[in-house]
Amino acid sequence: MDDRRLRVLVVDDHDVVHWGFRVLLGEQPWVERFFQARTGAEAIALARANKPHVALVDLFLSDESGAELSGLIREASPATRVLLISGAGRMSPAAARAAGASGFVSKDWEASRVAAAVRRVGLGMTSFPPKAEQPAPLLTEREREVLDLIAVGSTNREIAEQLYLSPHTVKEHTSALYRKLRARNRAEAVQRAQRIGLLG
């Protein structure tokens, strides 16, 4: 592989993730410099000032969308390529590409594999897991059905009737959806599901 040295920007809102990447990237001979941002505004300012080769962006920053931030980083630094990362399930390659990303990695992966993906994307390639290796779907089939009905505005009672479930069971599926999508309400759940390609 090309031996160019790369500038890397890490965008995440968790201290432990920053600490992990400091250790991981600090060990790589191909990393020239790396920068760390906890918010979208910090990420855009660092991208504009330092023109990183690759930005590793968490898909779910606290109140911001990593997918939307990808486009803003590329506006600030057009040559920067984005690698999305998430600990909350997977993102389809099509949805990642639509967000302007050149790859997607899971926080469940081994450190060496994440480092290799960062390097590949920084060198102008893409890094998407092959379908067979993608993690299990974020939502169960039943949770997807509930989500689809939430997205068209159905109430819990209507969902219960359509899926032949008790209102209590629908409530349990809805709670599981919110937890997995890190959403506080229906609108946020639908919005986040759209961002990662769970809804059309």
> Which backbone phi and psi does 35 adopt, to 5 degrees?
-125, 150
141-195 — its CATH code?
1.10.10.10
Q: Which residue has the higher pLDDT, 118 or 88?
A: 118
Confidence of residue 43 (pLDDT cuts 50, 70, 90): very high
Distances (CA, A) of 132 to 84, 129, 136, 141, 199: 19, 8, 10, 18, 21
Domain residue extents for the chain: 6-133, 141-195
Q: What is the CATH number of domain 6-133?
A: 3.40.50.2300
Banded pLDDT at 7 (limits 50, 70, 90): very high
Q: Is the pTM here over 0.85, yes or no?
A: no
* Half-sphere CA count of 119, side-chain side, radius 13 A: 19
Distance CA(60)–CA(74), nearest Å, equals 18
